[in-house]
């Protein structure tokens, strides 16, 4: 009686390749089709946990926390200097859903720096901005602009304290002309003082006081 041999059921090779391709846990560097590379932890084929991403087109690098394929948690983002090729830190702080969110520090190309709170990638909440001309703003922000209560200190130490809206002085505020020893207190609208009073303030210590003191009413 002839013996019939049934062929052993074989699994398609792509099944095995697919199993090996599944990324979960700590893996070596994985390269994307566009040349980007990622080294770190995975979960269900998504970047999840600690990891470092390098973008080929810009050379930018992010090192920090990931959550389901997006930057989420604490991490730093740096880009290479176009001349020296050395990496310069752009942002260090908290992220959520691939955008700056929470407290963080951003370094701008012209030497300016922001330290404070972010929301959906925009400066929002409390923060301090160091400008290129030496001015410093400290106070509330909304959608990347000073809004709420804040203080702007100029390079000559004169300063404004009061309300802001859309990045401009708005509402009740005080402007201290410390170089002249005067104080203006009044109402502002879109960076323009609308009404108020001007009085002498620290006139004796001012470096360049006006020739005549303001008479008292």
Cα dihedral 147, 101, 57, 23, rounded to 10, equals: -170
User: What is the residue-averaged pLDDT of the chain?
Assistant: 88
- The residue among 150, 114, 151, 105 whose CA lies nearest residue 132 is 114
For residues 67 and 112, membership in a common domain is answered with no
For residues 32 and 120, membership in a common domain is answered with no
For residues 56 and 136, membership in a common domain is answered with no
The domain containing residue 179 runs over which residues? 108-216
- Alpha-carbon Rg of the chain, whole angstroms? 29
Total count of residues recorded for the chain: 217
pTM of the model: 0.82
- The residue among 174, 217, 170 whose CA lies nearest residue 190 is 170
Q: Note the pLDDT of residue 14.
A: 47
Write the DSSP string, 112-173. Answer: -EEEEEEETTEEEEEEEEE-TTS-EEEEEEETTEEEEEEEEE-TTS-EEEEEEETTEEEEEE
Burial zone of 170 (CB within 10 Å; 0-12 exposed, 13-18 middle, 19+ buried): buried
Give the domain-ending residue among 92, 126, 143: 92
Give per-residue pLDDT as tens, 7-64: 565 666 545 555 555 666 566 778 788 889 999 999 888 999 999 999 999 999 999 9
For residues 147 and 85, membership in a common domain is answered with no
For residues 114 and 210, membership in a common domain is answered with yes
């Amino acid at each position: 009686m002839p013996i019939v041999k049934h062929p052993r059921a074989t699994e398609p090779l792509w099944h095995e390749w697919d199993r090996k391709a599944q990324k979960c846990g700590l893996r070596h560097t994985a390269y994307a089709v566009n040349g980007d590379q990622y080294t770190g932890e995975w979960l269900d084929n998504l970047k999840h946990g600690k990891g470092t991403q390098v973008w080929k087109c810009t050379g930018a690098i992010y090192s920090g926390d990931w959550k389901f394929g997006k930057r989420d948690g604490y991490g730093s983002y740096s880009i290479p200097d176009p001349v020296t090729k050395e990496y310069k830190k752009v942002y260090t702080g908290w992220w959520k859903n691939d955008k700056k969110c929470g407290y963080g520090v951003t370094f701008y190309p012209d030497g300016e720096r922001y330290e404070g709170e972010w929301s959906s990638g925009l400066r929002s909440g409390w923060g301090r901005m160091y400008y290129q001309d030496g001015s410093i703003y400290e106070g509330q922000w909304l959608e990347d602009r000073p809004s709420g209560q804040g203080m702007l200190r100029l390079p000559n130490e004169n300063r404004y304290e009061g309300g802001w809206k859309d990045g401009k002085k708005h509402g009740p505020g005080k402007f201290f002309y410390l170089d002249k020893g005067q104080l203006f207190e009044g109402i502002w609208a879109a960076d323009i003082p609308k009404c108020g009073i001007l009085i002498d303030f620290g006139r004796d210590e001012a470096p360049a006081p006006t020739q005549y003191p303001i008479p008292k009413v």
